[in-house]
Structures are given as structure tokens and as C-alpha cells.
Structure 1
């Protein structure tokens, strides 16, 4: 990840060169075909031209979005695509939860199944995306949880409770959570390039 200030890409391109040199010095091969570049530009000015990134003589493909460690990151930093994907996957698992209910399993077993399968999907990397997701995105996920409550006949914690529970005040990076807080607006324009190796 590199930050471009005042249209000067030199620091960013130098960072990539350092990475390339480090990999060569440590006998690691960068696969350019699997490397993507994502530009995030939140400034209000017109679209800029950015130099293509080259690694080992090959141009890195520039993309509008990519999936990294299970999280869909979009160029405009919207989380709708990611939350829609989570909701769809979780709704499919409700089918299995209903089948378990039809076998008359105890509510505790149903709740354990929900926690281990559906909730783990809905809350994966929640501290990253939940704070800046839209109300509509959160409601779509919450509807899946309400369906699970009706199936299991138990009260389940909502997403906001889980989100704040994950913000452990004793964690060394707890001070960074203000960056991900709810309803936080970007106060000044910035743009950066992300690349995935």
C-alpha cells in the first residue's frame, strides 16, 4: 500500500522497487500475473492518469476490485458488494439450519450450529468493514440473523453488539478503531494505490 501526495508517485514507485529488491535478495519470486493494483482516489478532482506499475519488466494489471483474505475491496471503498456476498452465503446456510430444526434438535444445538457456520460468515473481518457499511447493508445482514432467530427460537446477538465486542480496549491496536468508527466521513481528499502480491 502506498500513498500518493500532490500527484507525486515517486515514493509509491520506490516502495514497489524496494519490495522487488527485497524479494530478489531473499530468493522470493513475485508472480506478476497474480499481482493486482487497485487505485483508491477519494478526491473531488477529475480523474488522474497514473503510471502503470512494472515489476520485473511486466506491467501489473489494474483492477476496480479484488478479494483479499475473504474481503471484497472496491475502488470506491464501498462495502455493499462484500456485505451482499456475505448475506447470500449466509442465507444458503439457513437451509441446513431449517433441516436440523426439522429433526427436532434442541435449540442449544441449533444455536451452536448458527454460531459456528452462519454467524462466523456474517462477522468475518467485521472490524474492517462494519463501521463504514451503509444502513441498508447492515439491515440485509440483520435480516439473515432475524431469520435464524425464528428458526432456533433463541435470541441472537445483533451485528453491532458483535462489532463493539470485537473492539477489545486491551488490544494494542485498539487506538486504530476510531478510523473505522460508524458514520465517519472522510474529512479531506486523499488517494492511494493498493497492490496485492
Structure 2
């Protein structure tokens, strides 16, 4: 992956990189310690990935609601399975996220609220709590 902040896009003529005679593959993004880092250093790819993963877990939350479990159990399940995905490495990427990405994350939280019929903390509250822990 090449990170280049030059404003002249037409001059990007990079030579292939080789190590011990083997060409190094060029990628647009890669995953490091569970965080997707993209070539343009935006967090859209990472946030899209975690929103998709969190929505898959919301399916299980809705299924548990169908079994008439108490709201406290559903909230605990949400915290352990969905919120933990949404907040993984949040201190690294949340501050530089676009409003559109933050809205996508909040839609997941609001969807969980509707499923378990209780109010959940928004991501701004969670990030402030995380920062206060340090």
C-alpha cells in the first residue's frame, strides 16, 4: 500500500517494489490488528466492515427477542456482541470519521434500541467514557 499526499495525481508513476527478487503486491487497503487501513487513510472501509458485522449480530438479537427474554438479558447480549464490535479501536478511528460514517454506526445502535425496546448510549457517549478511562 502506498500512502501519498501529493496533490498532483498524474505524476503517480511508482516503480514496482521487490524484496529478494520477489515483487511486493500493491493493495488499496489491509487489515492490521482488526483495523482496516486504506490507501487514502480514510475510515470508510473500516466502518463499512464493522457496520456489516454488527448488523449480522443484530439478527441474533432479534431472534432472542422472539424468545421473550427479559430486556436486561437482551441489553447484555447487545453490549457483548454488537457494541463490542462497534467500539473496537474506537479511539483510533472515531475522531477522523465522516458524518456519513458516524450516521451509519448510529443507525445500528438505533436499530438495536428498537429491537430491545430500551435506550442505549450513543457512540459519542461511549467514546467519552473510553477516553475518561485512560
With normalisation by structure 2, the TM-score equals 0.88
Q: Say which is worse superposed, 52-61 or 100-109, in terms of deviation.
A: 52-61
Structure 1 residue 40 corresponds to structure 2 residue 21: no
Higher relative contact order (CA 8 A, sep 6+): 1
* 1:131-160 residue CA offsets vs partner (Å, 9 max, x unmatched): 111101110110110011111122111111
Shift in Å, 1:59:
2.4
Pick from 84, 87, 109 the counterpart of residue 48 of structure 2.
84
Match of 1:149 in 2: 113
Aligned residues: 133
With normalisation by structure 1, the TM-score equals 0.62
Structure 1 residue 158 corresponds to structure 2 residue 122: yes
- CA–CA separation in structure 2 for the residues paired with 1:167 and 1:76: 26
**Structure of higher CA gyration radius:** 1
Unaligned 5+ residue runs, structure 1?
A: 1-37, 172-197
Match of 2:90 in 1: 126
* 1:70-117 residue CA offsets vs partner (Å, 9 max, x unmatched): 222111112112111111111111111111111111111000000000
- More helix by proportion, 1 or 2? 2
